[in-house]
A and B are shown apart, each in its own frame.
Chain A
Amino acid sequence: MKLTRSFRTRLFVGFLLASLLPLLLCSAMLLQIFRLQMNAQADSESNAQLDHVITTLDSLYDGFRQTSQALKANPYIAPSLARGQTDSAMVYSELYSATEGSRANAQFDLYDQAGIWRYSTKSLPLYPQLPTQWGTLYAARQTDGLAFAQVDGGESSSAPLFQAAAKLTTSDGQVAGYLVITMTRSNFHQLLDGTYSSQNDLLLLNQYWRPVYSSLSSLSGTLAPLLREKLLAGEPLYGEGDEYAYGTALQEEMGLYAVLQRPQALNQSTRGLLTTVTAGSALVCVGISILMGLRLSRQMFYPIERLHSAIGEVAHNNLDVYVPPYRDDELGQLAQRFNGMLVALKHNQEQLVENQRELNQAQIRMLQAQLNPHFLCNTLDTMKWISKINQVPQVALMSTNLADILRFCISPEEFVPLHREVEILQRYMEIQKIRLSSTFSFQAEIPPELESCLVPKMILQPIVENAILHGLEGVEDGHILVQAEKVGSCLLKIIVTDNGKGLPADMTGAYAHRSRELSRGHLGLYNVDTILRKYYGEDFGLYLSTGSGGRGAVVSATLPLRWEEEPEC
């Protein structure tokens, strides 16, 4: 399971990276491009509007300058003010003609040298008297041109906001009076309205960045000090996250700064919207990544898991496994290959077993074939010998038995009933009795129920022959006993007992695993043992022991108890 998780995590992380990274990069870049373009556009618009404002102010200044120059140059006005005349029609007419172009924009007043009002383009003066040691008139005395000053006029639309003043001198250079130009809020409003677009606001500041006029009266009190503070602190007027952006331009002669407040192109709500969209997309990406990760890992992991368990089965020698290839993809092909490999493996194994069996059978047949000529040679030799020396009738008997044995040997069956084996053994013993002059006796004790059980052909004869040749040689009253008994429910034990010389000590025990070389002279036992093991497996074979009382040998053969036409036990 741990494997699955790590695999899934890796897939998930991979998907996440592959989807989220481009998304975020893309969003950031789009945002950036979007903002740059909007800002550039807003900047250029704002600059155009500011240009318009400054042009308007320029022409306003030109009007003021021309008026002041005309009045200064006028030969009547200064002397009239110096004389303290208050109601000269000549002065009024000159004042009106000099202010012709600018009268709509401001109020023009003439004050005498003591700062007392004398003439005006309006019916009433804004200030009946102005201090000469303070403010505009003081400033006007210090310059030959126009002096400008901001005025705190109040909140009303007729409140004076801005003053310009110029001194009027008599021909001998004495100050005779002052021209004072006053602009009210409504003057500025009339003048500047329309020079900037309606969603923007305009703020006019004097040369020390103190508010003169603003299109929204609240801006003067709040925004202007803030902007001034930022300017003095050397900070930018607005930051990226601020609600408004500010453009500035300067009308130099009047020392008026125009500050245009415009809503930021990319304001908080747009930003929020973009962020939400990006976050939403990112969430979708995460979701899809999880789903894809799960799905793909499942698609990959299940076939792998099936293959895994199939390989486990094979490791436990079960070749009857089949992995169904669900899809026609790489993993499906892998499963198909695996199945094909299993089929080939199984075929190979079966082939191997078949080969082995064929080999064993060939070996057995060869062993059996080896017995026949051996025995025949001996018997014929004996017959020849007896008939030559003794002229006795036993030859007939011997040849009859020999014929029976030969028929038995060449019969095609590999397994024969036990009673038949014993019968052939008796024929063989009869021959041997004649051969060896009956110096021994032979007895077979087979329980009737075991008489029909199947044993490999010719396994008793070599044992008995071994007993006669090696055990009973030169022994009086030799006796050979063949017994059969059932061991447990499915084993047959055939015991050949003799009372001969016994076995050498190194030959007792299980006969198995002795090489053919060591069995020299006991080839019969070797063959029988080999036959038993080849037929029934390594657990079966011959067992040699010494007889009771230390005399003679006991050779027992253990083999599965089998009956004709019956399944193996």
Chain B
Amino acid sequence: MVKQRVRGLLCLAVTCSLLLAGCTASRPVPATSAYAPPEEQRLVVYTSHKEEVYQPIIKEFEARTGIWVELVAGGTNELLERLTQEADSPKADVMFGGGVDSLEAYGDCFTPYFCKDWQQLTPSMRSESGLWTPFSALPVVLIYNATLVSPDRITAWHDLFSPAWQGRIAFCDPSISGSSFTGLVTLLSAMGGNQDKTLMDFAVSLDGRQLSSSGDVLTSVANGTDLVGITLEETALKRVEAGDDIALVYPKDGTSCVPDGCAIVKDAPHWKNAQQFLDFISGQDVQQRMETEFSRRPIRSLPQEETVLLPLSDIPLLDYDISWASEHHNGILMSWAFYFGGEEQP
């Protein structure tokens, strides 16, 4: 008897709440969906570039193609991990940004595409398999504080091992920053010989100090906390332009010039638009614009001769093996962690 009544009351309460809920939810919100673009006019881009870089490109791409771009910004590794997780039903069409060695390391997520101007791309900076399309060439450079350090004190990689710099070298944790990893591998290639010894010596030079963001390298050198640092040409030039008290050195024993790139996600829902995007960013207009506005070194031949950048041919380059670097990514990082921290086993 009591149970029945309780059940009856419950029913009543549920009915009431349903009624109320129904009342509150009954009004449809005016549809703006008519303004939304159809699926074939969409593109989902994962990018690790800074907003100032991707924003004008995306805007121009939209204006030229009529394709709506949905952007997801984040760190390179974070986005690549996300792509791996979404491999079964990809949401992204394009991964835009990140060193091509990183893209190579996550090659399973991508599908090859040879962009329209592939022939015009600088041969050393294009993917023979078409897995990725380069965006900007990013030589690794050494920087120094222009006030505290005289220019002739640091000219090559081996100068970093001078005791004068011990504990005053700005270097970002290579497990955090992809460019720092490229820097470390460049250092290893430039020094040659026993890698473990080089790592050990470099760890001694750092004296237990690593920075947690690649941007800190420039700040730290500019304000005199550190005297020298390892960073990318593009970043350094931007800071010089902004008036920071730093100067660049292209190491005379050679440096690497690994491009960052862009790749089409495997089974991308809007792969046609993704191909257009790759054609666009490797195209002449974007490359020209990147060079003049952002000091980003183009990865293709451009008709215009005047340039603010030191011609690539004037920069001593190493033979940097991208696939070797990506294959040995984890091994190198573990060795480094061992020598640097002395705690983890290699």
Contacts and interface: CB of A to CB of B under 8 A. Distances in A.
A28 B63 contact: no
A133 B12 contact: no
A232 B27 contact: no
Interface stretch (B29-37, B112-120, B149-157, B250-258): B29-37
A39 B32 contact: no
B25 to A, nearest CB: 7
Nearest to A27: B20
B36 A236 contact: no
A240 B285 contact: no
A21 B60 contact: no
A138 interface: yes
Given A25-B19, A133-B289, A238 B29 contact: yes
Contacts of A239: 29
Contacts of B30: 43, 236, 247
Contact of A36 (B27, B59, B292): B27
Nearest to A32: B23
Contact of A236 (B24, B31, B63): B31
A246 B32 CA distance: 10
B296 interface: no
Interface residues of A, number: 40
Nearest to B28: A236
Contacts of B201: none
Given A133-B285, A149-B63, A234-B36, A240 B27 contact: yes
A28 B68 contact: no
A208 interface: yes
Contacts of B70: 229, 232
Interface in B260-317: 284-285, 288-289, 292
B216 interface: no
Contact of A28 (B19, B36, B62): B19
Contacts of B59: 149-150, 208, 210
A31 B23 contact: yes
Interface residues of B, number: 34
A490 interface: no
A35 interface: yes
B56 to A, nearest CB: 8
A343 to B, nearest CB: 39
A32 B26 CA distance: 9
Nearest to B283: A133
A329 B145 CA distance: 105
Interface in A160-214: 208-210
A245 B9 CA distance: 38
Interface in B2-25: 5, 9, 12, 16, 19-20, 23-25
A94 B288 CA distance: 35
A131 interface: yes
Contacts of A152: 55
Contacts of A28: 19-20, 23
Nearest to B69: A208
Interface in B45-84: 55, 59-60, 62-64, 68-70
Given A13-B5, A133-B288, A232-B68, A240 B60 contact: no
B296 to A, nearest CB: 14
A184 to B, nearest CB: 19
A403 interface: no
Contacts of B23: 28-29, 31-32
A257 interface: yes
User: Top 3 A-B pairs ranked by shortest CB distance?
Assistant: A236-B29, A208-B62, A32-B23
24 contacts: A13-B5, A24-B16, A25-B19, A28-B20, A28-B23, A39-B27, A133-B284, A134-B60, A134-B288, A134-B289, A135-B60, A138-B60, A138-B64, A150-B59, A209-B35, A210-B59, A210-B62, A231-B35, A232-B70, A234-B33, A236-B31, A239-B29, A240-B24, A257-B35
